[in-house]
Amino acid sequence: MDVTIKRDGITLRGVLEGTDNLQNERVAILMHGFQGDRGYQAGNLLYDLSRTLNQAGIPTLRFDFAGCGQSDGAFTDMTVLSEIMDGMKMIDFARTEMKAQQIYLVGHSQGGVVASMLAAYYRDVISKEVLLAPAATLKDDALLGECQGTKYDPNHIPLTVDVHGEAVSGEYFRTAQLLPIYETAQHFMGPALLVHGLTDAIVSPEASKKYNVILPKSELHLVEGEDHMLVGKRENEILQLVTEFVNK
């Protein structure tokens, strides 16, 4: 079913799948990455994962972050901080509208960073977290003045930076430089699953290795032959791994 939530006057649009009822005992909230969306067709990691979780009896909630996909807002207003605020509203929706007692956060790439920080902020609410190629290196990249092949002066950040033909705000990079990613994420004490492709050229697997060190109940799976998108030959294996972790 289609669902909407409001965050500071912005309408965020998403879908609740794997259930015919709004109220559910549990739900997995799936969060997409930088310049991505919630997934609209097979072959997208979160779309495929949603279907696999649903088949295992786990409802899923997928939203487009503000400025992405079908949600309102301008992409130039997007920062990790704004996505954290979006995520807070998603968690609130699961708690109040869905009455969910078990909430799982699943994030891919930048969505993994957002999920890891939210799990810490809501450590009394979130049951488990799954971080798929979590892009914690975005902070290091911002300090170096790099973003997926685009370079800029990190000491004199411009108003916008063109990344893959799309304008990304200077505010995004300014806030990224000082994000307390690991310092915040380490406060989550629940079970955590980390999955990272060993051929990931966008986010080093070292990011997941560090999460594995700071999260006391984490398990790390480094996948041979998979890149950042995790939709290669071993995608089904990854989908089953996540589903079994959430369902156990």
- Does position 206 have pLDDT exceeding 90, yes or no? yes
For the stretch 128-150, pLDDT in tens is 999 999 999 999 999 999 999 99
- 22 domain residue, yes or no: yes
- 168 domain residue, yes or no: no
Tokens of 142: 């911002």
Number of domains in the chain: 1
Instruction: Quote the CA–CA distance of 26 and 28 in Å, as a whole number.
Output: 7
Kindly report the CATH number assigned to the domain that includes residue 39. 3.40.50.1820
Q: How many residues does the chain have?
A: 248
Confidence of residue 106 (pLDDT cuts 50, 70, 90): very high
- 171 domain residue, yes or no: no
Give the mean model confidence (pLDDT) for residues 14-27.
96
Instruction: Quote the CA–CA distance of 67 and 5 in Å, as a whole number.
Output: 14
For the stretch 28-47, pLDDT in tens is 999 999 999 999 999 999 99
The answer to whether 150 and 163 are in contact (CB under 8 A) is yes
Instruction: Quote the CA–CA distance of 106 and 241 in Å, as a whole number.
Output: 13
- 166 domain residue, yes or no: no
Q: What percent of the chain has pLDDT over 90?
A: 100
- 172 domain residue, yes or no: no
The whole-chain average pLDDT of the chain stands at 97
Instruction: Quote the CA–CA distance of 224 and 107 in Å, as a whole number.
Output: 20
Cβ neighbours, 10 Å, residue 225: 10
Distance from the first to the final alpha carbon of the chain = 26
For the stretch 155-166, pLDDT in tens is 999 999 999 999
- 198 domain residue, yes or no: yes
- Does position 248 have pLDDT exceeding 90, yes or no? no
What's the burial of 124, exposed, middle or buried (CB within 10 Å: 0-12/13-18/19+)? exposed
- 159 domain residue, yes or no: no
Give the mean model confidence (pLDDT) for residues 158-187.
98
Q: Which domain holds residue 53?
A: 2-137+181-247
Tokens of 71: 């949600």
Instruction: Quote the CA–CA distance of 80 and 84 in Å, as a whole number.
Output: 6
pLDDT at 28: 98
DSSP structure string for the chain: -EEEEEETTEEEEEEEES-SSS--SEEEEEE--TT--S--STTSHHHHHHHHHHHTT--EEEEPPTTSTTS-S-GGG--HHHHHHHHHHHHHHHHHTS--SEEEEEEETHHHHHHHHHHHHTTTTEEEEEEES--TTHHHHHHHTEETTEE--TTS--SEEEETTEEEEHHHHHHHTT--HHHHHTT--S-EEEEEETT-SSS-THHHHHHHHH-TTEEEEEETT--TT--STTHHHHHHHHHHHHH-
- 155 domain residue, yes or no: no
Give the mean model confidence (pLDDT) for residues 56-72.
98
Q: What percent of the chain has pLDDT over 70?
A: 100
pTM above 0.95, yes or no: yes
